[in-house]
Amino acid sequence: MAMISLVLILLVGGVIAALSERLSSNAPRWVALATIALTLGYLLAVMATMDDLQRLQASTPSDPATWLMHFKSPWIPAFGINLEMALDGISLLMVLLTLFLGAVAVSASWTDVDQHQGFFEANLLWTLAGVLGVFMAVDLLLFFVFWEVMLIPMYFMIAIWGHENRAYAAMKFFIFTQASGLLMLVATLGLVAAHREATGVFSFSYFDLLHTPMSETTAHWLMLGFFIAFVVKLPGFPFHTWLPDAHTQAPTAGSVILAGILLKTGAYGLIRFAVPLFPTAAIEFAPIALFLGVAGILYGAVLAFAQTDFKRLVAYSSVSHMGFILLGVYALNELALQGALMQMIAHGFSTAALFMIAGALQERLHSRDMRQMGGLWQAMPRMGAVAMFFVVASLGLPGLGNFVAEFLVLLGVFQVDRWIAVIAALGLITGAVYSLMLMQRAFHGEPNPRFENLQLNDFGAREMFTMAAMIVALVALGLYPQPILDTTQSSVLGLVEWIAQGVAQ
């Protein structure tokens, strides 16, 4: 019940935020913050009362009793559809990340969104509700419903509060995600049908569907359906082209949520569904997935370097970083999977922060064009220093979370395929090239003369507080990642064993 409540708090909070706009323009923001804080507080309270956190030490994907939480209540019994949700270490971390970055997004919207604040914050909270549902649903139809719940408010956020080319970007985002969602629905129905054919039972439950005997061909096609749906969301090369437009046109808070959280639902889907539901097919498909991962790393990096728009550059850097996740998932060993999970979290922080900086610059300069920037460090040293931090985080400086992630992925991939690891490692060089270029074009060099007529305020207390939180998080991830690794370890081990068993059968 607790898990449903988490989603409900956010949904109801969204309604209140929408209504509270009548009080003042700031009210929705405070309501949004309070709602996120309440959700987080409730989650922590539930966790605190749980006497068996040690379940983190032993969980198998197929046995809900080994998960931290499990809830099941009938919804459409005729078709075996339930309100079934479950939480393991991976879900827990993703939920925490979502709430953390949700608060960051509210902070980012504080001055950025200046009309219909109520509806904006409502959309933001509803997206978060959908994401939380996605991270916890283990009934595949319920999962699909939440998948749509997070999509539609996001569409509104881009279409209503976006920048100059928002209509195009929002439509592109919608069509890509909707088409891939449809593919997932079809694959889900196919899987349920296969399960019914083999066992005679209708069930949409993850725990039942894991045990679906099916022919190799069926498994291949169904796996491909899930894979494409999630890789579009991730996004992986060559399904990434919606992302630069959506990220660039979205309002700052939207970019933060998109890059920080929504992309992770794709990665989560791969780890939770696309791989364990079809272990043999996933292994056979792995070389292609690894290739797409490497292609994404390099393609994203080259395109990031070619951009002149600050946000577009960061968007392409996400494509590059998501390539590491694809690699990490499909190396299918513990090191690489842990790396992929770490990347999901670390990339969430580093990219969210870079998008906030982009938003702050747009507010001050009314431009994202780096040719209109240069020498901004002088006027805004605090922002410059913060940007420097996140730029080096994003290029994978050891001591910060992104390095732990990328190194573990490379280590895991190297054990599977050395050449893939070697080519992926080139991403470390190309990553440095575009990252430092960003710093140069925006903050270094001679101050651009057009600044003279502009009021360039450095980061204020609210912005510095938000940034400091993310800096601390990345340093903690980089220097002491063990608590995070421990939280996901049993689920990762369970998954690796599950695949080994699936292949053995």
Partner 1 sequence: MSNAIGLVPLLPLLSSLLLMIFGARMTRPMITLLGVGSVGAAALATAALAMEFMANPQPIEITLWTWMKVANLTSGVAFYVDGLTLVMMSVITGVGFLIHLFSSEFMHQDASYARYFAYLNMFVCAMLVLVLADNLLLLYLGWEGVGVCSYLLVGFWYTDRANGRAARKAFIVTRIGDTAMALGLLLLFTELGTLDIQSMVGAANAKWQVGDSLPTLACLLLLAGAAGKSAQLPLHTWLPDAMAGPTPVSALIHAATMVTAGVYLIARTHGLFLLSPTAMTTVAIVGIATSLLAAVTALMQSDIKRILAYSTISQIGYMFLALGVGAWTAGIFHLMTHAFFKALLFLGSGAIIHCLHHEHNIFKMGGLRSRMPVTFWSFMIGSAALAALPMTSGFFSKDQILLQAYQQASIGPWLWLAGLLGALLTAVYSFRLVFIVFFGNAKTEPDREIGWAMAIPLTILCALSMVGGYFALPLAQVFPTASADHPAHWVEIVSIGVPLVGLAIAYGLYLGRQLSAPSWTTGVTGQALREFWFSGWGIDRLYDGLLVRPYDRLAALFSSEPVDRFYSAIVDVNQTLHQWLSSTQSGRMRWYIASMVFGLIALLGIAFNIAPGAL
Binding site residues, partner 1, CB under 8 A: 237-238, 240-241, 244, 299, 302-303, 305-307, 333-335, 338, 375, 377-378, 381, 385, 388, 392, 397-399, 403-404, 407-408, 410-411, 414-415, 421-422, 425-426, 428-429, 432-433, 436-437, 440, 443-447, 479-482, 485, 489
Which residue, 181 or 190, has its beta carbon nearer to partner 1?
181
Least separation in angstroms between CB 355 and partner 1: 20
- DSSP class of residue 400 equals S
Residue with Cβ nearer partner 1 (26 or 165): 165
- Distance of closest approach, residue 241 Cβ to partner 1, in angstroms: 4
Q: Which is nearer to partner 1, 122 or 395 (CB)?
A: 395
Dig out the tokens for 399 from the structure. 């001591």
Q: Min. distance of Cβ 133 from partner 1 in angstroms?
A: 29
116 φ/ψ sector (left φ>0, alpha ψ -120 to 50, else beta)? left
**Residue 424: strand, helix, or coil:** helix
Cβ proximity to partner 1: between 74 and 238 the closer is 238
- Would you say the C-alpha torsion 359, 363, 366, 372 has a positive or negative sign? negative
DSSP 351-394: HHHHHHHHHHHHHHHS--BGGG---HHHH-HHHHHHHHHHHHHH
What is the rounded CA–CA span in Å between residue 117 and residue 27? 9
CB 259 within 8 A of CB 394: no
In sequence order, what DSSP letters do the residues of 40-71 get, joined into one string? Answer: HHHHHHHHHH-S-GGGGG---TT-GGGSSEEE
Q: Which is nearer to partner 1, 281 or 424 (CB)?
A: 424
Least Å distance, CB 456 to partner 1, is 15
Enumerate residues 6+ apart whose C-beta is below 8 A from 338: 408, 412, 485, 488, 489, 492
* Shortest distance (Å) from residue 482 CB to partner 1: 6
The phi, psi pair for 455, rounded to 5°, reads -90, 105
Count of beta carbons in the 10 Å neighbourhood of residue 65:
9
Is-contact 401 479, C-beta < 8 A?
no
287 close to 327: Cβ distance less than 8 angstroms = no
Q: Which is nearer to partner 1, 238 or 287 (CB)?
A: 238
Q: How far, in whole angstroms, is CA 86 from its chain's centroid?
A: 19
Q: What are the distances in angstroms from CA 470 to CA 140, 347, 386, 388, 398?
A: 33, 11, 10, 13, 16
Residue 468 burial (C-beta neighbours within 10 Å; 0-12, 13-18, 19+): exposed
Give the SS3 label for residue 176.
helix
When the beta carbons of 194 and 474 are compared against partner 1, the nearer one is 474
Closest separation in Å from C-beta 236 to partner 1: 11
Residue number with CB closer to partner 1 (199 or 415)? 415
Question: In whole angstroms, how close is the CB of 489 to partner 1 at the nearest point?
Answer: 8
Residue in this structure with the two tokens 């197929």, named with its chain if needed: 62
The least CB distance from residue 379 to partner 1, in Å, is: 12
Name the amino acid, one letter, at 344.
M
The rounded distance, in Å, linking the Cα atoms of 118 and 243 is 26
Residue 278, both tokens: 């079809």
Dist CA 79 CA 114 (whole Å): 46
Closest distance to partner 1 from the beta carbon of 152 (Å): 21
Closest distance of CB 342 from partner 1, Å: 9
Nearer to partner 1, 256 or 474 (CB): 474
Rounded to an integer, what distance in angstroms lies between the CA atom of residue 294 and that of residue 279? 22
Structure token digits, residue 298: 């390099």
- To partner 1, the closest distance from the beta carbon of 493 in angstroms equals 9
In sequence order, the β-bridge partners of residue 69 are 87
Residue nearer to partner 1 on the CB measure, 108 or 341: 341
Cβ 256 to partner 1 shortest distance, Å: 23
Of residues 38 and 302, the one with the C-beta less far from partner 1: 302
Please, what is the minimum distance in Å from the beta carbon of residue 6 to partner 1?
A: 29
101 vs 393, beta carbon nearer partner 1: 393
Residue with Cβ nearer partner 1 (12 or 302) = 302
Structure-derived torsion over alpha carbons of residues 301, 304, 305, 307, reported in degrees to the nearest 10: 160
